[in-house]
Amino acid sequence: MFDVYDPVTDEVLIPSNALIDEHYAQLIEDKGFSSLMIRSTLTCQAKHGVCAMCYGRDLARGHLVNVGETVGIIAAQSIGEPGTQLTMRTFHIGGTAAREIAQSSVTAQHNGRIVLSRVKSIVNQQGHTIMMGKSGQVSVVDDQGRERERYSLPSGAKLFAVAGQEVKKDQLLAEWDPFNEPFVTDVAGVIRFTDIVEGKTYQEKVDDATKRATQTIIEYRTTSFRPSISIVDERGNPKSRPGTNTPAIFSMPVGAILMLRDGQEVFEGDIIARKPRESSKTKDIVGGLPRVAELFEVRKPKEMAVVSEIDGLVSFGAETKGKRKIVVTPEAGDAKEYLIPRGKHVTVQEGDFVEAGELLTEGYPELHDILKIKGEKFLAKYLVDEIQDVYRFQGVGINDKHIEIIVRQMLKKVSILDSGETTFLIGEQVDKIRFMEENLRCVEEGLKPAMAEPLVLGITQASLSTDSFISAASFQETTKVLTEASLMGKDDSLRGLKENVIVGRLIPAGTGYRRYMESEIEVPRQPERPDRFLEELEENPIIGLDVE
């Protein structure tokens, strides 16, 4: 998008608007750039379709995409075709489950100096620095103070670097158990079990790997049970968390495996229990396809997570109506309260710092929540990453731009909050480009512009809300679409493929694209052949052969 300069000589390495090919990609890697700002179909401001510069390379031919290429159809085919293979593959495998390869450590990718932010840690008996809470981040900055990389660390991670330490490339910074989420105590004392009753809230299970008996928290029907582990002193009095008046009580979710026995002595940094992480659970091959449909259709996830709407510190309030209360308190402003249903595993601890959009419980966040809290750009990235995760898990590689084109269509509408002095109505769903054009007209005329909020529509809803009523009517709800179009006196500009096929016109794609249809082509005249050649041709009609 902008000129890329050599970090040493300040020469222009890559000019702006250049197509990044294999040569430029190698140059970027050799010079050690961690990120560049590029054009994307998600941010393209083209009024209709996308521009060639934002789409970039035609993946079939290896050069800049031609104007008039049907990139939307190519995107749909690229996403849909592997889906049919995945379904067939399931029958061959017979529903075999596969396990994800989870990340278990972070290493420095550059030489530099360590910077720690929001890190709460404790040193255990073995002398290891253990992360407390999941809000900590470790960064590597270079000599100029530029941040080269940043990593978020999970709770229970072992940290091998301290703030200000000089590190080399490939040096280990932190590691953790990728398959289990540990419950680490930050106070020393004696373990006391509460509501942990054999046969009711826990049962003894033999671990297949270690052949050891473990105590695992199970589903309990009685609402009065709240399995938890508290840390007490020798007299049985509850101990408080460091720097707070909050008792050191750890709520045990369903599936948690207890590591210690009741009455056992513990020290700071000890792991008292662990819970298998969601990512390490075995996933069925078919499980990915409903997830893709869930994302593309913007459905509510079955396992919906509670999302924090603000930045702030986590604390736990009193239980109400059998639900746990999480309170997020910002530095300034009002605190937000969230009620968590029984049985939902809370992923934050007392005193953790959470950012807006961070999950407070296990599960998937609702897309509307992400859009409201984190904004359009974050939602677009989240959708692309989540859909790619499903396909990558099946071993299918799809270029990001295909998914981005579909996501662009899902995010093309806005909902009017305040109509100002425009022709819009409050609550009306308007195309983003039309909204911007109308507002620009109002500003130029000195009128009050409209206010709107972005919308995310499922692909079915996005298809029905297209500008072309002929295209929408040919898809679903034909009577409704045609009735609305006639009542509103809509006109169809016949810009897309479907509407042109329906009315029997040449489709506006490839050489049928308007730009090519309206252009005039001059064919240079061929030089006249000499008469001798025509005489020879009459004598010998077989061209190119000398007959003796």
Q: φ, ψ for residue 453 (rounded to 5)?
A: -120, 145
Interval 34-93: pLDDT, tens: 788 899 999 998 888 899 999 999 999 989 999 989 999 999 999 988 877 655 544 444
Task: Kindly state the percentage of the chain with pLDDT values over 90.
Answer: 30
Higher pLDDT, 518 or 483: 483
Interval 341-364: pLDDT, tens: 876 778 887 777 888 888 898 888
Among residues 101, 40, 93, 92, the alpha carbon closest in space to that of 71 is found at 40
**Residue 350 to residue 274: CA distance in whole angstroms:** 17
Interval 171-191: pLDDT, tens: 999 999 888 888 888 889 999
Mean pLDDT over residues 396-402, rounded?
Answer: 91
Whether the predicted pLDDT of 223 surpasses 80: no
305-363 and 486-548, same CATH topology: no
Q: 486-548 — its CATH code?
A: 1.10.150
Among residues 260, 250, 100, the alpha carbon closest in space to that of 179 is found at 100
| Range of weakest confidence among 55-69, 97-111, 237-251 | 97-111
pTM given for the model: 0.77
Contacts of 36 (CB under 8 A, 6+ apart): 4, 28
Q: 305-363 — its CATH code?
A: 2.40.50.100
**Residue 146 to residue 157: CA distance in whole angstroms:** 25
- Sequence spans of domains, the chain: 1-38, 105-178, 181-280, 305-363, 486-548
Return the biggest CA–CA distance within the chain: 122
pLDDT at residue 95, rounded to an integer: 40
pLDDT at residue 91, rounded to an integer: 42
Which amino acid, one-letter code, is at 40? S
Mean pLDDT over residues 479-491, rounded?
Answer: 92
Which amino acid, one-letter code, is at 455? L
pLDDT at residue 530, rounded to an integer: 59
Interval 263-318: pLDDT, tens: 899 998 888 998 887 643 444 444 577 888 889 999 998 888 999 999 988 888 87
Q: Sign (positive/negative) of CA torsion 293, 297, 301, 302?
A: negative
Distance from CA of residue 185 to its chain's centroid? 32
Write down the residue that tokens 């199970």 correspond to: 218
Contacts of 321 (CB under 8 A, 6+ apart): 339
Q: 105-178 — its CATH code?
A: 2.40.50.100
**Residue 248 to residue 231: CA distance in whole angstroms:** 6
Q: What's the pLDDT band for 542 if we cut at 50, 70, 90?
A: low
pLDDT at residue 278, rounded to an integer: 60
Contacts of 197 (CB under 8 A, 6+ apart): 225
Query: Which fold, 181-280?
Result: OB fold (Dihydrolipoamide Acetyltransferase, E2P) (2.40.50)
Whether the predicted pLDDT of 415 surpasses 90: yes
DSSP strands (E only) in 355-506: 413-418, 429-431, 451-454
Task: Provide the 3-class DSSP secondary structure of residue 176.
Answer: coil
